[in-house]
Amino acid sequence: MSHAPTPSPAPANPRSRVITASLVGTTIEFYDFYVYATAAVLVFPLLFFPTGNDTTALLLSFSVFGAAMVARPIGAVVFGHFGDRFGRKATLVASLLTMGIATFLIGFLPTFTEIGVWAAVLLLVLRLAQGFALGGEWSGAALVATENAPQGKRAWYGTFPQLGAPIGFIIANTVFLLINFALPHPDGPAVRSEAFLAWGWRVPFLFSAVMVIVGLWVRLRLVESETFSSAEKKGALRKFPLGEVFRRHWWAMILGTFIMLATYVLFYLMTSFTLAYGTKATADGAQAAADAGGPAFDPSTYVAGLGFGYTDFVIMQIIGVVFFGIFTLLSGPVADSIGRRRLLLWITAAIAVFGLLFSVFLSPQLDPKFTGALVQAFLILGFMLMGATFGPMGALLPELFPTNVRYTGSAIAYNVSSILGAALAPIVATALWAAAGGSPWLVGVYLSGSAVLTLVALWLSKETKDIDYESNLGLGETASL
């Protein structure tokens, strides 16, 4: 008597593969993004925007940095469409390739002295490509993690793509530091060398090619999650996910956008703005440089900073980012236990208070003996709050949407928030810094105001930790379409 062969079980992603794929991919993506963010402060104002005015050059550099945020929602729509229609795997591979190629090509760009304003134009084009790619990366990685998570551990698994942010920051800035230290420094090890400005800054961009190859190898081994496969088999997938999101889930998009707002503003203030503010010379330092034959110094227009050397301040940032990573991981189990909304309400309130303390920690009038300790405490505290608010987002935003529009909906919310928060934060902060005559107190008020908006969005939202992915495919809502 013959027996029919037992069908093979559907392929599944081992937990180690899920964690690795979501973590490695976002680490590479954020590495590429932070390499640009660091260069936007240290290199691009001099090499691509030599206006003769430090503040104007920095604002132009930050404007190109922020332009990528405008491209991110476009990337969210495009990658979200394909991710919700055809699956997460291919979409994630495409976003990684786009980001990697754009970053690699920045390493070959000619500068202003070689081709004039076209150097800035080409930088803008590649920066837009970076933003377009990142628009599709985060949501795909978050879905890989959360759609494959064991029951009751979705927020914990959702922290692994979030962990790519601090790891990518540490790798990017460590690469910059190693290159800077390896080059000759005629004026001292804390000062950027001419070799660094001439060619050393290009190496981190070119190094991204190696990381992309590793990321592709990991992601090509993934299979689709059972949640997405179930939605596909039951006919829940839509031909036009974007229309479905705007028709039936517009309120979830608005809430998700503002829930992310304070997180974005805090993060870009703690990275881009603080690097610019921390490494800008004090008024006394600028006067001393002018007396020694450097650029002319006008105390009535000069916007002072804290006067740290680049390498010293970046090391301080890296120490703070270690706490970012630790609190990102710790936030997952807490969010699984007490809920995402309750945790974020407390953390966002703490961010609002933290913003009001900027002038306490970062005053340029502080005694130099205490400045280093206070700034380090400021960075640690700020990055602790960053980890605690960023970690739960990997679960919360996808949970706002059913499976058939989860990629599109979470990607749009996440990336529209990037325009309101990340794109504007460095520019607004630089302008407020100048308006306050070198004091950061207005920058802190800006952060507190963003936190208040996030608190309102959280108050209007509902808890999502008990949502069942398997029964939330979107069938009931789309049956008539």
Residue 479 is predicted with a pLDDT of 36
How confident is the model over 59-110, as pLDDT tens digits?
A: 788 788 777 778 888 988 898 888 888 777 788 888 888 888 888 898 899 9
- Which has more confidence, 292 or 21? 21
Q: How many whole angstroms separate alpha carbon 224 and alpha carbon 141?
A: 12
| Band of pLDDT at residue 16, cut at 50, 70 and 90 | confident
pLDDT of 276-287, one tens digit each? Answer: 888 877 766 666
Number of structural domains (the chain) is 1
Residue 4 falls inside a structural domain: no
The answer to whether residues 256 and 410 touch, using CB atoms and an 8 Å cutoff, is yes
Residues 6+ apart with CB under 8 A from 114: none
8 occurs within a structural domain: no
Across 184-192, average pLDDT: 55
Q: In 3D, which of 286, 265, 218, 240 has the Cα closest to residue 420?
A: 265
> What pLDDT does 295 receive?
62
In a domain, 2, yes or no: no
Residue 417 neighbours by CB under 8 Å, 6+ apart: 256, 257, 258, 259, 260, 261, 263, 264
pLDDT per residue over 407-456, tens digit each?
899 999 998 898 888 778 878 888 888 888 778 889 999 999 999 999 99
CB 454 within 8 A of CB 259: yes
Residue 46 belongs to what domain range? Answer: 15-478
Write the Ramachandran bin of 9: left for phi over 0, alpha for psi from -120 to 50, otherwise beta. Answer: beta
The pLDDT score that the predictor gives to residue 351 is 98
Q: Does the pLDDT of residue 236 top 80, yes or no? A: no
Residues in contact with 391: Cβ distance below 8 Å, sequence separation at least 6, in sequence order: 155, 158, 159, 162, 327, 328, 329, 330, 331, 332, 335
Domain presence at residue 391: yes
HSE (side-chain half, CA atoms, 13 Å) at 59: 15
**Residue 246 is encoded by which pair of tokens?**
């705007």
d(CA 360, CA 374) in angstroms, rounded, equals: 8
Structure tokens at 444: 């802190």
pLDDT band at 1 (very low <50, low <70, confident <90, very high): very low
Please indicate, yes or no, if residue 452 is contained in any of the structural domains: yes
**R_g (Cα) of the chain, nearest Å:** 23
Tokens 């800008």 locate to 280
Q: Are 408 and 245 in contact (CB under 8 A)?
A: yes
In a domain, 7, yes or no: no
For residue 139, tell me if it sits in a domain: yes
Question: Per residue in 101-151, pLDDT tens?
Answer: 888 898 899 988 889 889 889 989 998 998 888 888 888 888 888 888 888
- pLDDT band at 481, cuts 50/70/90? very low
Domain for residue 312, yes or no?
Answer: yes
3-state secondary structure (DSSP) of residue 185? coil
- Euclidean distance between the first and final Cα of the chain, in Å? 48
**What's the CATH number where 364 sits?**
1.20.1250.20
Residue type at 88 in one-letter notation:
R
Distance CA 56, CA 49 (A): 9
pLDDT at 291: 61
Give the mean model confidence (pLDDT) for residues 332-351.
Answer: 96
Q: Stretch 318-325: mean pLDDT, rounded?
A: 94
Distances (CA, A) of 35 to 10, 130, 173, 271, 301: 40, 11, 7, 12, 30
